[in-house]
Structure 1
Amino acid sequence: MFERLRKTIDPVLFFSLLLLFASAGQAKIYKWVDEDGKVHFSDRQDHSIEQEVVDVKPGVSEWSRFEIDIKTVDVELSEQEHQQIVEGVNNVYEFFDRVMSFDMNRTVPVNILILKDSTAYRNYLIRRNRGMAAASYGIYMSSENQIVVYIRKNRALTFPTIKHEVSHAVVDTIVPYAPAWLNEGLAEQMETIERDESGLYFERHRENKWVVNQAREHGSLAGIDQLLKLPSNKWRHSDLSGRGSLRAQSGQFVYFLLSNSTRRNFVVRLMHNFNRGDRTIAYYLVNDNYIGGVAMLALDWRRWLHDQGAGVIRL
């Protein structure tokens, strides 16, 4: 495609289009010089010639940020902490809008309530008949479109929890039939989402990596076919029991899926299937949406598990 463009249009215009396509599709663009000194660009790698990857920097984000309603009870946030929450929530919304291709401007932003400690949090939930969630760090309550968290002893850990619950709020609102492993896996990843001048990126979830490595070494890591077939109610029951590594594995599996454009597109297709009301168990959607089907997905996952991928994923 790019070769045809290069031969038929002005070089400056071609390179402008190159930047547009690269930033939109997240594809790698390859550059090489032939024997006559002519520069070529392509979106396909050719191992018979020496190529280099063009480092295309995306432009300034045009994301329309939401004003986030933050309330506190017996807690004082610094201006920097308040800004950190606003930035984090908007990063999550932008991910679902830009990467997952959902129109976030049609949703209602959540309001966030921050309590002073775990005791105040537990009492708040009990008064609202949510006592079973009292052992958590945060919760999304759909009836009030509200996220409730408390300031943890390590204050910095409070802010990833907010992003985690914002992800649940988004998925529960626009993709209510998403399986639990996907819902929770995305929320685990949102804990580490950040933005710099180049755009959105994820950092590796260190705790999840450690848990998955331990489970793999002890032979207790669930097979991909088992994970994909697991109904949401059974996933949640296992997670609440605290005896397994399903939460960490779901987080790392989603990290693996988001780590390149092909697998990322697979996640997008799954999410939109569920958004349309499809209640098919994810396992039975893989063959239609992942090249090579379940067998190839499981093989790619096993290969990735050796080092669990790069420490940063840029979107």
Structure 2
Amino acid sequence: MMALVLTLAVALAPAGAGAQDHSHHHHHDHDASEGHTHHQGGPVECTSLAAPPWSGLSASDLQLIRELQEAIAGLDTPEAARQAGFRPAFGNIPTMGVHWIHQGRMARGFDPGEPDHLMFAPVNGEETLVGIAYAFIGPPDADIPASFESALAHWHDHPELGGSGQTLHMLHVWLVPSPYGPFAGNNFALPFMGHGITPPDACWIQSDEDVERLEVVGSAFALAEWATGGGGGEALEHLIGQGAAASEQGAGGRAAGAAALRMGERLASSLEEWGAALDLAAQDGDAEAWRAAADGLIEGLGPVQRQAVEALRLGVTGVQASSAGRDE
């Protein structure tokens, strides 16, 4: 696991990171810190903030997103991203995709029209540009660049990627439907898209019970994809370990993850039937049928599979926080 962290830290650390000039910024005040803590996301206004064109955003934010889309118009394939100087670093994290990083842009500092991360994820079998991100390395209480007006646009940070006394600050912007909004740390629609399954209507994901249902089912599909060689590799193993520790499963949780991988084909096969039912319910707009299929999938998981899925879910959601939140 330490090798993974060190590899990512090297990939993310831009030359001259300490000299970055964030010419437009604000300090971590109380409100910003509180939102920063909850960057993982949660239900949003489902008719205007859960899918493009994000009509619930302000005119200023919508204009920024339009300008951003124009700026990345020629970077919509991994090949084009590589030619432009981006390099993949994280592997396919199920609710984020693969982060492609441009070290030169990070070194130059925050520029709304020049994102330093592109996020690609499989959608119906094809690597698709699903989002972008901005990032910089600085102290945990660093001034955060002023970007979007929306109260949803909260930065999170990754202390394990910042080096001594530093942390990696990051903000996502999604280009595809996202049940937790355009700036959410995690996009739980992606595991469904990766399997060619229509994600559920965001208006069905408003209660705590429905949030957990969405996240468990999405994590199950992510684990099945990983177990059958679909990607994620060491990054997902690391997340399962973090989630197991957070849930006090400890070594038992990590062992469950390893066991679930050994049963990968069986897990994928058991999800196939429920995946078809979930897809049909989403296409038909039938919320109750979708919940029934999701519950059937969850109930069909064996104890070891359920433990591994929960560890992965907690690992994925746990990395979307702030240093302030972790210290509370």
TM over 0.5: no
Q: TM-score, normalised by structure 2?
A: 0.34
TM-score, normalization: structure 1? 0.35
Higher relative contact order (CA 8 A, sep 6+): 2
- The higher radius of gyration belongs to 1
